[in-house]
Each structure stands twice: as C-alpha cells, then as structure tokens.
Amino acid sequence: MKKALKIILIIFVAIILIGAGGVFYITRGLDAGSKMEISAVDPSSLSDGTYEGSYSAGRWSNKVAVTIKEGKITGIEVIKDVSIALEEVSGEIIDRVIKAQNTTVDAVSGATVTSKAYLKSIENALTK
C-alpha cells in the first residue's frame, strides 16, 4: 500500500514538473516579443542577392532568406521556422511584406508575437 502511494506521488510530481516546464517553454519570450519594435527597411538601397536574417527568442526563433532583385523584395523563404509554426501565419506575413516592400506591416490577428518574430528576421536580413 505504501509503495503504491509512493509511486502515485512520484508520478504526480513528475506530471507537475513536466507541465511547469511546458508552460515556461511556451511563454518564454512572449512579453518581449509582444513589445518588440519593428523598423522599416529600404530594399531599394540593396544589391541584388539573397540576405539571411534570424531572430532568437524561445519558441519564436526563426531564420529567413530574403531575395532582392532590382531593389525590390521578390521572395522570402523560411529556412528555420518557429517551434509552433502555422503556415498561414508565415505565408500571410511574407505576402504582406512583399506587397508593401517593407516590414512595417500589420501582424496577423491572433499571432502577433509570431508575426513580429518573422518580421524581425526579415528586418535583420535587410539591415545587416
């Protein structure tokens, strides 16, 4: 009987620790990401080529390759995606940036931090 209670207690503690770790992982970088400022970029001043940029903050870490041709953003490829990726979010942000030719676009509703993470990677690619 005591052995069974001990096993149940160990399992209960393990579940609590795993849950707490999961919450920490999911929320790490959330506050900083929501307050992050995205600066404008000027692709017209860049030479033709592909520029890589990244952003690192917990599960929102990502890396992109931005293609510039004749002073315009012609393509953006996600090289390393965020941990909990939604293709519709990255696709929408990429479409908005290419259409606007800038990173000062609205975030996707319900995915503000993820949107900003992609935008910061694009900004970093074009400003370094």
CATH number at 62 reads 3.90.1010.20
In the chain, what percentage of residues exceed pLDDT 70? Answer: 91
Total tally of structural domains belonging to the chain: 1
What value does the mean pLDDT of the chain take? 89
Residue 52: domain span? 31-127
Q: What is the pTM of this model?
A: 0.79
Mean pLDDT in residue range 27-55: 87
- Contacts of 107 by beta carbon, 8 Å cutoff, 6+ apart: 93, 115, 116, 119
The predicted-structure confidence for 89-102, as pLDDT tens digits, reads as follows 999 999 999 999 99
Residue 93 lies in a domain: yes
Residue 67 lies in a domain: yes
**Single-letter code of the amino acid located at 39:** S
Band (16; pLDDT cuts 50, 70, 90): confident
